[in-house]
């Protein structure tokens, strides 16, 4: 997808359903999550305590921070449980011909 602002990240088949995986996209830590037949990209740092969300548990369209159990909506980045109160950025994802592409600019419709 040259010129589209999207960066190739990985082949779709390296993602396992419900298992977050950390990647770096243009210097930005991103957790990719395949769940509910979609790929989501969320900033891989919890807004409450700077730990990796890719080490957390996925349940539907949420990922839970392993340290303090705050859950974040993978679609919006909004926290669903305390202690986190600030959202984390989410990034646009495209899949094409078995490849996953992410734009490192956060979505603005949060």
| Residues 31 and 7 sit within 8 Å (Cβ to Cβ) | no
Q: Which 3 state secondary structure label does DSSP give 12?
A: helix
Q: Which 3 state secondary structure label does DSSP give 107?
A: coil
Distance in angstroms between the alpha carbons of the first and the last residue of the chain: 25
Task: Find the mean pLDDT for residues 93-97.
Answer: 97
pLDDT value of position 8:
98
pLDDT confidence band for 108 (50 / 70 / 90): confident
Predicted confidence (pLDDT) at residue 1 exceeds the cutoff of 70: no
User: Mean pLDDT over all residues of the chain?
Assistant: 95
CA distance 5 to 38: 20
CA distance 102 to 106: 10
Burial class (CB in 10 A: 0-12, 13-18, 19+), 3: exposed
pLDDT value of position 110:
46
pLDDT value of position 105:
94
Rg (CA), the chain: 13
Q: What pTM was computed for the model?
A: 0.93
Predicted confidence (pLDDT) at residue 109 exceeds the cutoff of 80: no
Percent of the chain with pLDDT over 90: 92
pLDDT digits (tens, 9 = 90+) for 37-88: 999 999 999 999 999 999 999 999 999 999 999 999 999 999 999 999 999 9
């Amino acid at each position: 997808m040259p010129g589209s602002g999207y960066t190739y990240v990985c082949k779709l088949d390296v993602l396992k359903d419900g298992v977050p995986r950390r990647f770096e996209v243009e210097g930005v830590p991103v957790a990719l999550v395949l769940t509910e037949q979609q790929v989501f990209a969320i900033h891989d740092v919890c807004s409450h305590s700077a730990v990796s969300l890719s080490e957390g548990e996925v349940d539907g369209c949420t990922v839970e921070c392993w340290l303090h159990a705050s859950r974040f909506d993978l679609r919006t980045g909004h926290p669903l449980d305390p202690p986190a109160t600030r959202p984390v950025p989410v990034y646009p994802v495209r899949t094409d011909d078995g490849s996953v592409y992410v734009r490192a600019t956060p979505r603005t419709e949060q």
